[in-house]
Amino acid sequence: MQLRSPSRNFKEQKVVSVTRKDQVYTILRQAIISSQLSPGETIRKELVAAQLGVSRTPVSDAINRLADEGLVEIYPQTGTFVARLWLDKIETAQFVRVALETAAIRRTAERATPETIARFRQNLERQRKAADKQDFEQFYELDEALHDLICDAAGLVGLREIASKERSQIDRVRRLLLHYETRMIETLAEHEAIISAIADKDPDKAAKTMEAHIAQMGKMLLHLRNKRPELFGS
């Protein structure tokens, strides 16, 4: 018997193996974060499997991953539900996000090249256009993309994926808030301040601005809880 080792002849860069469970994961995650599936809603694995034309296995795998990410709640032998919003978990996620992104932005401010900054500014341009058009969805996507760009610019392999995962709770909340209050103009101004600080190679200022930017969400959250208490847990 020949043992196979994880030897050099493997393609070193992980080929994006798009297995079915990955596809299911992506679809469900998107559906949850975009609030197509509401917090507290039941997920029927068998039904999902049927709808997507796969068996229960890849659906279960995807849902396990989502549970790990805190986007679904699995009650053994009972049921699976889209995770409700838990204020204390959101607080933690917020903390982690601030910690990671301010650290990332410090690094980015130190090492940003003109090309990187140009990419940032290009994103900001498009944000401005979206804000002018009152295109919430587009604006929101660009917002996320900007945070990803900043992460990437820190030059750390896999950091974006980690940050994105830890941010998923927050992203979902923000998406919900989008329908109640927008703050597009203010947000855009904050983004511009962050990028300016990076361009000025001023890590402290960049980090502080980012922190203030992220902190904005708190009060809106309480507002949402008053309007839609059914989305929240505890």
List of residues contacting a second copy (CB under 8 A)? 3-6, 10, 12, 17, 19, 40, 42, 61, 64-65, 68, 73, 75-76, 78-79, 81, 84, 86, 88-89, 91-92, 95-96, 98-100, 102-104, 107, 154, 156-159, 162, 166, 233-234
* Closest C-alpha among 12, 96, 27 to residue 58: 27
**Closer residue to a second copy in complex, CB, 113/157:** 157
**Closer residue to DNA in complex, CB, 75/158:** 75
Residue 55 binds what, of a second copy, DNA, none (CB under 5 to 8 Å, by partner type)?
Answer: DNA
**Closer residue to a second copy in complex, CB, 61/141:** 61
What are the structure tokens assigned to 85, written together? 């919003």
In the list 13, 78, 113, 226, the residue contacting DNA (rule: CB under 7 A) is: 78
Query: Which residues inside 155-194 make contact with DNA, applying CB under 7 A?
Result: none
Site for DNA contains 11 (CB under 7 A):
yes
| Alpha-carbon span 199 to 171, nearest angstrom | 26
Position 161, amino acid: E
User: Which range in 4-12, 136-144, 181-189, 226-234 contacts DNA by CB under 7 A?
Assistant: 4-12
b/e sequence 158-187, b meaning 16+ C-beta within 10 Å: ebbeebeebbbbbbbbbbbbbeeeeebeeb
In the list 28, 32, 33, 43, the residue contacting DNA (rule: CB under 7 A) is: 43
Site for DNA contains 51 (CB under 7 A):
no
Site for DNA contains 1 (CB under 7 A):
yes
Q: Which residue has the tokens 């597009």?
A: 184
Site for DNA contains 226 (CB under 7 A):
no
Distance (Å) of CA 12 to CA 16, 48, 58, 194: 12, 34, 26, 36
Site for DNA contains 21 (CB under 7 A):
yes
CB 48 within 8 A of CB 4: no
Which parts of this chain interact with DNA (CB under 7 A)? Answer: 1-2, 4, 7, 9-11, 17, 19-21, 43-46, 54-58, 60-61, 64, 74-80
